[in-house]
């Protein structure tokens, strides 16, 4: 029994010795040996040293930062700017490759005006639910945004132009966002077709015509000839 107690005592003493080597903490009851003369409203200060584990970690951090600085500015290695630009270039190439592999999702060639009553109804629903009415009004007469029923256009009034405007957004700083990340190609086609179906109608309070691109009335007439339901959807 006596031997066991001595052995346990040695183990405890060894552990305390190891712990002190890591923290250099003073034993309780010895604070007077490191007590400083400072007194802040009754709060006294002890002259403890920084724990060695923290101090060595701080030194390692300094050494690593110096190594990193030298490698970037001395040997032009591990440059985050170059890594970012490389990743962006690779990402753009991947996007372009995806577009090339899936032309049916992105091509604006051979776009057709959808003219069935069902398609125009879907286009009208998109126009209403996707906040188009906030800027162009329900009858497309224009408010913040331009009038979409006349034949004067800022970015073009043909199918491809309207489709691209919806996809890429309006003029910079004018508020219209790009919808290609939100609306599918089919939805953009439906929406463009509905807008074209409303050209030549009479809004309640039409906004003055804007834009220098004139979409000839002959084009609208030809569409009306081709399409029975080109008139506004009720």
- Classify residue 184: in a domain, yes or no: yes
- Classify residue 234: in a domain, yes or no: no
Query: How many other C-beta atoms are found inside a 10 Å radius of the C-beta of residue 72?
Result: 15
Domain count of the fold of the chain: 3
* Burial (0-12, 13-18, 19+ Cβ within 10 Å), 127: buried
pLDDT at residue number 218 = 44
- Specify the higher pLDDT residue, 231 or 195: 195
Residues of the domain holding 91: 80-108
Average pLDDT, stretch 92-113? 80
- Classify residue 232: in a domain, yes or no: no
Looking at the fold, whether 169 and 198 belong to one and the same domain comes out as yes
Q: To the nearest 10°, the Cα dihedral for 90, 92, 96, 101?
A: 50
pLDDT at residue number 130 = 82
Looking at the fold, whether 158 and 95 belong to one and the same domain comes out as no
159, 192 contact by CB (below 8 A): yes
Cα distances (angstroms) measured from residue 211 to each of 151, 161, 166, 178, 207: 9, 13, 17, 20, 12
Looking at the fold, whether 149 and 207 belong to one and the same domain comes out as yes
Looking at the fold, whether 146 and 52 belong to one and the same domain comes out as no
Looking at the fold, whether 27 and 67 belong to one and the same domain comes out as yes
- Classify residue 38: in a domain, yes or no: yes
Distance from C-alpha of 156 to C-alpha of 203, rounded to nearest angstrom: 20
pLDDT at residue number 195 = 92
Looking at the fold, whether 184 and 201 belong to one and the same domain comes out as yes
Looking at the fold, whether 128 and 222 belong to one and the same domain comes out as yes
Q: Across-strand partners of 35?
A: 46
pLDDT tens-digit map of 1-14: 444 444 444 455 67
pLDDT confidence band for 123 (50 / 70 / 90): very high
Above 60 in pLDDT, residue 203? yes
CA 130 to chain centre: 19
Looking at the fold, whether 121 and 210 belong to one and the same domain comes out as yes
Average pLDDT, stretch 165-184? 85
Looking at the fold, whether 140 and 126 belong to one and the same domain comes out as yes
pLDDT tens-digit map of 35-87: 777 777 878 777 777 888 888 899 999 999 998 888 777 776 667 788 888 99
pTM above 0.85, yes or no: no
Above 80 in pLDDT, residue 31? no
- Classify residue 233: in a domain, yes or no: no
Of 22, 48, 74, which closes a domain?
A: 74
Q: Where are the alpha helices (DSSP H) in 169-229?
A: 185-197, 217-226
Cα distances (angstroms) measured from residue 2 to each of 10, 14, 21, 94: 13, 19, 29, 76
The CATH number for 180's domain is: 1.10.760.10
pLDDT confidence band for 219 (50 / 70 / 90): low
Looking at the fold, whether 142 and 91 belong to one and the same domain comes out as no
Q: Report percent pLDDT > 90 for the chain.
A: 23
């Amino acid at each position: 029994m006596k031997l066991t107690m001595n052995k346990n005592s040695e183990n405890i003493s060894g552990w305390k010795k190891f712990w002190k080597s890591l923290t250099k903490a003073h034993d309780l009851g010895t604070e007077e040996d490191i007590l400083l003369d400072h007194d802040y409203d009754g709060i006294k200060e002890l002259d403890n040293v920084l724990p060695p584990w923290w101090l060595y970690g701080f030194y390692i951090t300094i050494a690593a930062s110096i190594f990193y600085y030298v490698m970037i500015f001395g040997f032009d290695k591990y440059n985050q700017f170059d890594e970012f630009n490389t990743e962006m270039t690779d990402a753009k190439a991947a996007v372009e490759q995806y577009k090339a592999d899936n032309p049916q999702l992105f091509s604006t060639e051979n776009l057709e005006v959808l003219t069935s009553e069902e398609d125009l109804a879907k286009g009208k629903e998109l126009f209403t639910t996707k906040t188009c009415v906030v800027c162009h009004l329900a009858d497309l007469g224009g408010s913040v945004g331009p009038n979409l029923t006349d034949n004067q256009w800022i970015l073009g009034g043909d199918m491809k132009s309207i489709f691209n405007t919806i996809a890429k957004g309006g003029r910079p700083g004018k508020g219209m966002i790009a919808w290609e990340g939100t609306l599918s190609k089919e939805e953009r086609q439906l929406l463009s077709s509905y807008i074209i179906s409303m050209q030549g109608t009479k809004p309640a309070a039409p906004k003055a015509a804007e834009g220098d691109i004139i979409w000839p009335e002959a084009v609208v007439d030809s569409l009306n000839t081709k399409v029975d339901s080109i008139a506004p959807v009720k």
